């Protein structure tokens, strides 16, 4: 009898323990849900804009392949900075977006644009072997990328380590460029093309700002001015990309600024002279002798106007 | 229980072995990176194409990229060793005229590196396909030479 009673008690106790476990499980689940939603709310609250991650359903949208191709048509900042370096332009820290400005960027719109701006500054500094000075800019890129939930594409520890020596510039550029490339692909695949477009716009705006403010000899300045004139086509593509988001007031303001800049670029004429290239082999490599030419007609006045417009636009972006 | 443990261990080994030895994708780019030498990396494209089906056109992929006058570009590709296909690069200008290809037809020879000093800024098309339409995996790289 005693044994039976004990067995009953054991069963009862087991039931109580199981009930308790269930209650604990339910409480933990509720807490977990609250923590997760709390975190998500926290993230949303951090950004003060309502920049949606995707297009509205009823909009005429460019497909992902088109967006990818058009973003690819925006030159890598390395293109123009390499030209600047080759034409004897001296490095100027004053041209860069001050690292401390990061505290001003409270919206995803600002963060995406300035991720592109700081990315260009980082490349510019590396091209001129200012690797040690890049550390704060790397940290800014990390912070902005983290705010935009794309920090996984940059190996910051390796970048920080490599940035300690100017001998590692090529590796730093490799990691930075592959990081930006993978991030863009990821953003488009995730239906966050608006962020990818803004990052791309930021890189282009900063590259053009640096190019227009470069100080060099008149002969070299002429070469740079032609490269600036060639940006006319890039701007057309950028406007096409951005127009898909003109319902957003931030995008709309930027589009209006870019349109003012376009008015100045409309005075640039580009003509192409096509000729068959010749090929020669040297040291196991094929060397193309390009006989085609692009002729850029851009007046000093147009350059002056473009310089003024891009400075206004860029300063609005970084302020 | 032991059986399950063994089964899981076997699955894990097979999966991890696959990951360690597969060169296709980002791992291939990291290997290919060494061929940059002093050139500055701009862009890469992963290329993976199936074998050409009978009666079908040659599988190929194309990408557009702006090139700037005044820069000399070093362009090359690396093949994944586990595939038979050898990649061929062809570059076309914005008028769609062929500028250069990495395969010398008359000599039946692949040239590993293309140096392209650009004098006409514009958007160029980079196409990639594998010799004889074989299945292949590669990575195409565009960089700026000093």
Judged by phi (left if over 0) then psi (alpha if -120 to 50, else beta), residue B39 lies in beta
Q: Which one, of A230, A233, A238, lies nearest residue A198 by Cα?
A: A238
Q: How confident is the model over A85-109, as pLDDT tens digits?
A: 999 999 999 999 999 999 999 999 9
Q: Are B89 and B114 in contact (CB under 8 A)?
A: yes
- B11-22 as b/e: b if 16+ CB within 10 A: eeeeeeeeeeee
Q: Are B85 and B128 in contact (CB under 8 A)?
A: no
Q: Are B39 and A82 in contact (CB under 8 A)?
A: no
- Across the interface, of B64, B100, B115, the residue whose CB is closest to A72 is B64
Q: Are A119 and A202 in contact (CB under 8 A)?
A: yes
Asked if the model's pLDDT at residue A314 lies above 80, the reply is: yes
Residue B46: phi and psi, rounded to 5, are: -80, 135
Q: Are A202 and A120 in contact (CB under 8 A)?
A: yes
Q: How confident is the model over A106-137, as pLDDT tens digits?
A: 999 999 999 999 999 999 999 998 887 888 99
| Radius of gyration for chain A, computed over Cα atoms and rounded to the nearest angstrom | 27
Least confident span in A203-217, B19-33, B112-126: B19-33
Q: Does ipTM come in above 0.95?
A: no
Query: Average pLDDT of chain B?
Result: 87
CA distance B85 to chain A (A): 21
CA distance A116 to A207: 10
pLDDT number for residue A34:
47
- What would the mean pLDDT of A51-65 be, rounded to a whole number? 60
Contact criterion met (CB < 8 Å) for A82 and B144: yes
Asked if the model's pLDDT at residue A36 lies above 70, the reply is: no
Question: In the structure encoding, which two tokens stand for residue B24, read together?
Answer: 């296709």
Question: Which residues partner with B75 through β-bridges?
Answer: B114, B142
- Across the interface, of A285, A287, A294, the residue whose CB is closest to B121 is A294
- Across the interface, of A72, A230, A277, the residue whose CB is closest to B121 is A230
pLDDT number for residue B1:
54
Q: Residue ranges per domain, chain B?
A: 23-145
Q: Which helix (H) or strand (E) holds A248?
A: none
What is the pTM assigned to this prediction? Answer: 0.82
B16: which residues sit within 8 A by CB, 6+ positions away? Answer: none
Check CB contact of A216 with chain B, cutoff 8 Å.
no
Which of A223, A277, A281 is the mutation pick for testing B, counting most B CBs within 10 A? A277
CATH topology of domain B23-145: Jelly Rolls (2.60.120)
Higher-confidence residue of B30 and B68: namely B68
Question: In the structure encoding, which two tokens stand for residue A167, read together?
Answer: 């001998």
- What DSSP state is assigned to residue B62? E
pLDDT number for residue A48:
63
At residue B38 the predicted structure's pLDDT band, cuts being 50, 70 and 90, is confident
CA distance B26 to B29: 5
Alpha carbon distances (Å) from A163 to A17, A156, B146: 58, 10, 20
Q: Are A213 and A123 in contact (CB under 8 A)?
A: no
Q: How confident is the model over A140-181, as pLDDT tens digits?
A: 999 999 999 999 998 888 888 888 877 888 888 999 999 999
Contacts of B41 in chain A (CB under 8 A): 170, 173-174, 177-178
CA distance B132 to chain A (A): 21
């Amino acid at each position: 009898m005693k044994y039976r009673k004990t067995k009953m008690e054991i069963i009862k106790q087991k039931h109580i323990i199981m009930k308790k476990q269930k209650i604990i499980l339910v409480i933990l689940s509720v807490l977990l849900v609250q923590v997760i939603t709390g975190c998500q709310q926290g993230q949303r609250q951090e950004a003060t804009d309502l920049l949606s991650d995707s297009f509205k359903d009823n909009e005429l949208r460019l497909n992902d392949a088109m967006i990818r191709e058009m973003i690819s048509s925006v030159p890598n900042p390395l293109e123009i900075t390499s030209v600047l370096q080759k034409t004897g332009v001296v490095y100027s820290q004053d041209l860069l977006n001050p690292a401390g400005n990061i505290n001003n960027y409270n919206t995803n719109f600002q963060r995406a644009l300035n991720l592109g701006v700081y990315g260009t500054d980082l490349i510019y500094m590396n091209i001129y072997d200012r690797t040690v000075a890049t550390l704060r800019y790397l940290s800014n890129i990390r912070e902005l990328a983290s705010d935009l939930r794309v920090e996984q594409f940059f190996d910051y520890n390796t970048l920080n380590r490599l940035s300690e020596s100017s001998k590692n510039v090529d590796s730093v550029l490799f990691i930075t460029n592959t990081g930006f490339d993978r991030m863009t692909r990821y953003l488009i695949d995730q239906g966050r093309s608006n962020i990818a477009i803004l990052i791309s716009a930021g890189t282009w705006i900063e590259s053009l700002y640096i190019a227009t403010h470069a100080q060099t000899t008149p002969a070299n300045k002429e070469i740079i001015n032609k490269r600036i004139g060639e940006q006319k086509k890039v701007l057309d593509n950028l406007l096409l990309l951005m127009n898909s988001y003109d319902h957003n007031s931030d995008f709309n303001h930027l589009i209006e600024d870019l349109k003012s800049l376009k008015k100045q670029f409309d005075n640039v004429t580009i003509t192409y002279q096509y000729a068959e290239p010749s090929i020669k082999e040297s040291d196991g490599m094929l060397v193309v002798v390009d006989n085609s030419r692009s002729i850029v007609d851009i007046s000093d006045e147009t350059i002056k106007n473009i310089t003024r417009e891009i400075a206004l636009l860029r300063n609005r972006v970084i302020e | 229980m032991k059986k399950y443990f063994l089964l899981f261990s076997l699955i894990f080994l097979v999966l991890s072995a696959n990951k360690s030895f597969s060169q296709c994708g980002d791992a291939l780019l990291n290997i290919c990176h060494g061929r940059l030498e002093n050139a500055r990396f701009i862009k890469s494209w992963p290329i993976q194409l199936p074998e050409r089906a009978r009666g079908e056109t040659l599988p190929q992929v194309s990408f557009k990229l702006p090139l700037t006058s005044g820069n000399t570009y070093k362009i090359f590709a690396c093949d994944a060793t586990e595939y038979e296909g050898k990649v061929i690069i062809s570059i076309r200008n914005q008028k769609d005229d062929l500028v250069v290809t990495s395969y010398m037809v008359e000599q039946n020879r692949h040239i590993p590196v293309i140096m392209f000093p650009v004098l006409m800024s514009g958007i160029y098309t980079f196409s990639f396909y594998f010799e004889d339409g074989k299945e292949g995996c590669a990575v195409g790289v565009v960089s700026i030479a000093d």
